[in-house]
Amino acid sequence: MSTITLSKSDAAGVRTDAVVIGVVKLDGGVALPAGTESLNAAYDGRLVEVLSGLGATGKAGEVTKVPGPKPGKSATLIAVGLGTAPDGALKTEDLRTAAGVGVRAAKTTQSVALALPTPDADCVRAVAEGALIGRYSFTAYKSEASTDAPGNLTLITDLARNKDAKAALERAQIVADAVHQVRDWVNTPPSDLHPAEFAAHAQKLAKEYGVKVEVLDEKALAKGGYGGILGVGQGSTNPPRLVRLSYTPKKPVTHLAFVGKGITFDSGGLSLKTASGMVSMKADMAGAAAVVGATLAIARLGLPVQVTTYAAMAENMPSGSAARPSDVLTMYGGKTVEVLNTDAEGRLVLGDALVRASEDAPDLIVDVATLTGACVVALGTKVAGAFANTDTARERVVDAAVAAGEAMWPLPIPAEMLDKLRSHSKVADLANITGEPWGGALAAAAFLGDFVAEGIDWVHLDVAGPAFNDGGPSGYTPTGGTGYSVRTLVELAAAAS
């Protein structure tokens, strides 16, 4: 992974392979933001004219390349559209995206200097995050993977010696490390990341960063009565795991609990998915990956927030030992569930974990799960659904997502959904589906909410859309695993401190 440093160097004279600048869209033309004066002078004050002549419009994400102004210094100038800024102020997400676009426009092995606007530490963090997570590539399984080291990244800013800017840069590097790790886990083929391997990776990193870790194997899960996790995993030759991470700083200001869905591969079980529907199901553990990655980042940052995390890991496979439609599972805590669709399995492993997380009496539980295709139908592939048992809890998480630059939209949990789940089973406390073809994301949220203890604030994030990108890269988002929600969870902890 690339590293990034701050510098007060002259953008026109810095020795690097490429310099990234921003271009603002105006009515009838483009303009250069503050910080590009020396570069404009190096082009004899005609940089806007040069860029306009090459078709630059300032549209967000647009890239225009021109030769660098000084031979032997920067070889290429990469101008990235920032869109319009009606009030003269650019949003941090615009800067984060522009940085990602800029570094993707350069070769991975090139050194890149970023001369994007950084009037304050928040903008420094946004540019650094965008550059670092935009630099990501997954080449572990390429037979001719490049052996070249990634090029260095330099952020040119007048705040290079500012204490807050330095802290912002450190946070960006740590968060980017976590996002990269989560993306690596999600992109790894499921044959190489069974629940046991996933748990071992999490355990190793937790110990490295001073986070307490406990791993329950199939015997411990059976002894503890974790019927949901065991029921989902019983069809696979690769047994399930429940990973518990605990970060407890001195004098924590609050206690957060994170719960993640970790289905390392989801065939649908006996309620088998279509062939095309299975292709991206290695990503069904993205929620567990995100909560583990965020917890480790929070610990590395030393935030004064206690975090207890549960990653429920299982492989959902069809076999002679697999759970059957109409089987009844006894969940952790004693509640019974009739499994009417084995492809509605994520809520079963999460149900166990939510009951266990409630026993820790946290101030807020946030679960992250690639839970329903219905949420993708409702919100598309780039927006997560946010459900909660209180408006205040949901607003806290959505506000954190906005600050982190991750798209999220609040959705309701109608009371009748839980009634339908209870009435749909004639033999158990509730069914795992309502039997209706609509409102699937709402029903799944209602199911999960029934496993959260009374009096504990809880937010459920359905990240089925934004956790995995089937299309081409854009902004700082690559094809494949995105690392979605890591930045939101870290921001949530930072805001609480």
Strands of 58-138 (E only): list them: 63-67, 76-83, 112-114
Q: Which helix (H) or strand (E) holds 45?
A: none
Specify the 3-state DSSP secondary structure of 197. helix
Residue 273 among the catalytic residues: yes
Residue 400 near residue 491 (C-beta atoms within 8 A): yes
Burial of residue 52 (number of CB atoms within 10 Å: 0-12, 13-18, 19+): middle
DSSP per-residue string spanning 361-392: --SEEEEEE---HHHHHHH-SS-EEEEESSHH
Residue 291 near residue 368 (C-beta atoms within 8 A): yes
Burial of residue 481 (number of CB atoms within 10 Å: 0-12, 13-18, 19+): buried
Strands 241-247 and 212-216, how do they pair?
antiparallel
Q: Structure tokens of 165?
A: 């800017």
45: left (phi over 0), alpha (psi -120 to 50) or beta: left
Catalytic residue among 59, 91, 107, 273: 273
Q: Structure tokens of 208?
A: 């490295």
What CA–CA distance (Å, rounded) separates 33 from 234? 59
Residue 64 near residue 56 (C-beta atoms within 8 A): yes
> Whose CA is closest to 229, among 291, 289, 315, 290?
315
What CA–CA distance (Å, rounded) separates 432 from 354? 15
Burial of residue 120 (number of CB atoms within 10 Å: 0-12, 13-18, 19+): middle
What CA–CA distance (Å, rounded) separates 315 from 240? 7
What CA–CA distance (Å, rounded) separates 50 from 28? 15
Catalytic residue among 347, 394, 396, 487: 347
Specify the 3-state DSSP secondary structure of 212. strand
Active site residues: 273, 347
